[in-house]
Amino acid sequence: MYKVFIVDDDILTRMNLKMIIDWNYYGFDICGEAANGQNAIDMLKDCNPDVILTDMKMPVMDGVALIEWICMNRPWMQIIALSGHDDFNYVKDSMKLGAIDYIIKNKLEAELLLSVLEVAKSRIIKRREELREKTHVENQLQLAKGHLRQQFLRSLLYGEVVDTNEIKQNIERLQLNIELFNLVVIVLEIDDYYFLLEKESEQDVKKRIIDAFVEIVQQILNDSKQAYIVHLEQGKFAILFSIGKSYSTLFVYNQLYQLIERIRMSIKRYLNLTACFGVSPVCPNLSKSNQYYNKANRLLEEKFYKGKDQMFMDLPEKIIKNDIMTLTSEQEKAILMSLKTFDQEKLTKTLDEIFDDVIKKRLHHNATHMIVAELINIACRVANQSGIKINEIFYANDVPYSKMQKYDNIMDVKNWITDIHKQLLLLLEENMYNTKNYSENTRKALDYIHRNYHKDMSLQDTARYINVSCSYLSRIFKEECKVSYSRYLNQLRIDKAKILIENGDVRIKDIIRQVGFQSYNYFFKVFKELVNMTPLEYEDMVKSRMTKK
Distance CA 413, CA 435 (A): 31
Per-residue pLDDT of the chain (549 residues; tens, 9 = 90+): 899 999 999 999 999 999 999 999 999 999 999 999 999 999 988 889 999 999 988 999 988 899 989 988 998 999 998 887 655 566 666 666 678 888 888 888 999 999 999 999 999 999 889 888 887 777 676 667 778 888 999 999 999 988 989 999 998 888 888 888 889 999 999 988 887 887 888 778 877 888 889 999 999 998 877 899 999 988 999 999 988 765 567 777 777 888 898 899 899 888 889 999 999 998 989 999 999 999 999 998 888 767 788 889 876 544 444 455 678 878 888 898 888 877 888 889 999 999 888 888 776 666 777 788 888 888 888 888 877 887 777 765 556 666 666 665 778 788 888 888 888 887 887 776 555 578 889 888 988 888 888 888 999 999 999 999 999 999 999 988 888 999 999 998 998 888 888 777 788 888 998 889 988 899 999 999 999 999 998 888 887 776 654
List, in sequence order, the alpha helices (H) in 318-469: 329-340, 344-361, 365-385, 400-403, 410-433, 440-452, 459-466
How far lies 257's CA from each of 249, 261, 374, in Å?
A: 12, 6, 12
Handedness of CA 417, 422, 426, 428 (dihedral sign): positive
Which residues lie closer than 8 Å to 479 by C-beta, 6 or more apart? none
CA angle, corner 204, sides to 199 and 209, nearest 5?
90
> What is the structure's pLDDT at 436?
55
- For 274-337, give the secondary structure using H, E and C: CEEEEECCCEEEHHHHHHHHHHHHHHHCCHHHHCCCCEEECCCCCCCHHHCCCCCHHHHHHHHH
Distance CA 371, CA 327 (A): 7
